[in-house]
């Protein structure tokens, strides 16, 4: 099979770098284009990224010499991954979709639009069915599919198996990593020996996106799930990996083992052969002090959500900790898996 040509928009930023890294050796996709802001036009990718490459492995050889293009819909590829900043992503992604490209976006701009799938393949693969509607509504030859915010995705992966146990209320307090703020992002003087109990816009995103992700597909949009969600978001001095303390009300009043079993048994993509899918999307740890970002964020190559400390909650029903990598499963890896699902379901033919 010929590989599908793909481009990366916003290729020089933190999430863009992850896209470039994850595409290295990808069995289905071939990176043919990198695009970024005006400052980088015409430079070699390695030169354009320069000292801003922040991943521990070096820039993939194949990408180093690629010439950085403008983020305009004349790229030689079928699919683009968008790691664009929210202040520019809106019209650019629309232009690509209008011109016939498939857009797998990590940006927040179109997530909440009724005819745009906000997608986690294990959670709501059926929402992809919004794509034909979106193309019709907008007269586009291409389309946009989005993935959720980096905190939301790990929360919702953990919540999905609880939905059939009567999930009705969710309290979550996040302790989020620095890489979630991009680069340069958080100033070192602000976070050394400190916690910042605020991340602009984050709580709203977690509370809102969760409802759409857990919602049911209707004819022309998604009906939000009937779940109450309350989020408190904090920044902590960790490179990668968001840790989230969660409490849930489960109206079916399951036993503790039922809850753990629901996590462990959850694997809706098994057998589909998506290259980036983790063999186990939710890993349940039994040690009293896990998951921890430093130890667990790279499980399943950063594509798993790791759950631990499942125990009764004196106010709601159960509480637990969920942790996951925020720039892999929480961003670039999420958009990659979405694109793989599109391909597997025929949306890239």
Provide the edge-to-edge strand list for the sheet that holds 29-36. Answer: 68-70, 29-36, 4-9, 79-82, 102-105, 143-146
Compute the distance between CA of residue 31 and CA of residue 163 in angstroms, rounded to an integer: 37
Q: Does 175 bind its own copies (CB under 8 A)?
A: yes
Write the CA distances from 59 to 5, 45, 241, 258, integer angstroms. 19, 9, 21, 44
Q: Return the range that interacts with its own copies (CB under 8 A); candidates 33-41, 48-56, 82-90, 126-134.
A: 48-56
Binding test (CB under 8 A) with its own copies, winner from 15, 31, 80, 170 = 170
Known active-site residue 77: no
Compute the distance between CA of residue 34 and CA of residue 11 in angstroms, rounded to an integer: 6
Q: Which residues face 246 on adjacent strands?
A: 172, 320
Q: Does 239 bind its own copies (CB under 8 A)?
A: yes
Of the pair 127, 297, the CB lying nearest its own copies is at: 297
Q: Return the range that interacts with its own copies (CB under 8 A); candidates 41-49, 132-140, 151-159, 166-174.
A: 166-174
Q: Does 5 bind its own copies (CB under 8 A)?
A: no
Name the catalytic one among 127, 150, 233, 325: 150
The count of residues in the chain is 349
Name the catalytic one among 110, 127, 242, 325: 242
Q: Does 178 bind its own copies (CB under 8 A)?
A: yes
The 189-228 site mask, x for binding its own copies (CB under 8 A), equals xxxxxxxxxx-x------x--------------------x
Which residues, other chains included, contact 110 with Cβ-Cβ below 8 Å and sequence gap of 6+? 90, 93, 116, 144, 146
Residue indicated by tokens 């759409």: 212
Residue indicated by tokens 């801003």: 52
CA neighbor of 281 nearest in space, from 308, 295, 297, 263: 263
Of the pair 16, 142, the CB lying nearest its own copies is at: 16
Of the pair 73, 308, the CB lying nearest its own copies is at: 308
Contact residues: its own copies, CB under 8 A: 51, 54, 56-58, 169-171, 173, 175, 178-179, 183-198, 200, 207, 228-230, 232, 234, 236-239, 243, 245, 247, 287-295, 298-299, 308-309, 313-316, 319, 321, 323
Give me the active site residues, please: 150, 242
């Amino acid at each position: 099979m010929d590989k599908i040509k793909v481009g990366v928009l916003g290729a020089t930023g933190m999430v863009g770098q992850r896209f470039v890294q994850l595409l290295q050796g990808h069995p289905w996709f071939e990176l043919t284009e990198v695009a970024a802001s005006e400052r980088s036009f015409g430079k070699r990718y390695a030169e354009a990224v320069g000292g801003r490459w922040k991943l521990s492995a070096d820039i993939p050889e194949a990408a180093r010499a690629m010439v950085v293009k403008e983020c305009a819909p004349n790229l030689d590829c079928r699919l683009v991954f968008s790691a664009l900043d929210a202040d520019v992503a809106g019209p650019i992604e629309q232009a690509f979709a209008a011109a016939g490209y498939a857009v797998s976006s990590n940006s927040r701009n179109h997530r909440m639009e009724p005819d745009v799938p906000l997608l986690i393949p294990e959670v709501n693969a059926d929402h992809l069915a919004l794509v034909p509607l979106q193309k019709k509504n907008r007269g586009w030859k291409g389309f946009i599919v989005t993935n959720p915010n980096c905190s939301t995705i790990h929360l919702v992966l953990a919540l999905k198996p609880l939905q059939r146990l009567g999930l009705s209320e969710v309290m979550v307090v996040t302790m989020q990593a620095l890489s979630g703020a991009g680069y340069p992002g958080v100033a070192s003087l602000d976070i050394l020996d400190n916690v910042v109990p605020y991340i602009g816009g984050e709580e709203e995103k977690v509370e809102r996106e969760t409802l759409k992700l857990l919602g049911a597909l209707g004819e022309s949009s998604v009906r939000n799930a009937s779940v109450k969600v309350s989020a408190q978001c904090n920044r902590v001095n960790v490179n990668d990996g968001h840790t989230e303390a969660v409490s849930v009300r489960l109206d079916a009043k399951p036993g503790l083992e039922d809850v753990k079993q629901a996590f462990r048994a959850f694997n809706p993509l098994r057998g589909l052969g998506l290259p980036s899918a983790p063999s186990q999307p939710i890993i349940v740890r039994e040690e009293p002090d896990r998951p921890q970002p430093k130890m667990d964020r790279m499980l399943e190559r950063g594509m798993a959500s790791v759950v631990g400390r499942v125990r009764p909650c004196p106010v709601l029903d159960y509480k637990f900790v969920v942790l996951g990598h925020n720039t892999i499963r929480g961003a670039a890896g999420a958009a990659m898996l979405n694109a793989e699902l599109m391909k597997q379901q025929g949306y890239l033919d």
